[in-house]
Amino acid sequence: MTLAPELIQQDCTPERLAAAVLHWFEHPEAVAALQPDYLRLHRSLRRDASRQAAAA
C-alpha cells in the first residue's frame, strides 16, 4: 500500500501531481482506508514537544 506517491524532481510534473491529488478527491473510500495508517505513523513520530519545551 502506498501512502503517498514519490514525486521528486523530473517526476513531479503538474500532470502527475494533479492526478495524485485528484485521486483522493475522487476516491473518499481510499482516504478512509489510509487514515488508520497515517494515524499510526503520526503516533510513532510524535515526540510530545510541549512537554519537552516545558522541561527545557
Determine, yes or no, domain membership for 19.
Answer: yes
- Number of domains forming the structure of the chain: 1
Determine, yes or no, domain membership for 3.
Answer: no
Is 3's pLDDT higher than 80?
no
Is 7's pLDDT higher than 70?
yes
The single residue listed with the C-alpha cell 527545557 is 56
Which residue segment(s) compose the domain that 28 sits in?
A: 9-55
pLDDT at 53: 84
Is 25's pLDDT higher than 80?
yes
Is the pTM for the entire model greater than 0.75? no
CA distance 47 to 27: 32
- Phi and psi of 12, rounded to 5°? -90, 80
The single residue listed with the C-alpha cell 495508517 is 37
Q: Is 34 exposed, middle or buried (0-12, 13-18, 19+ CB in 10 A)?
A: middle
Q: How confident is the model at residue 4 (pLDDT cuts 50, 70, 90)?
A: confident
Determine, yes or no, domain membership for 4.
Answer: no
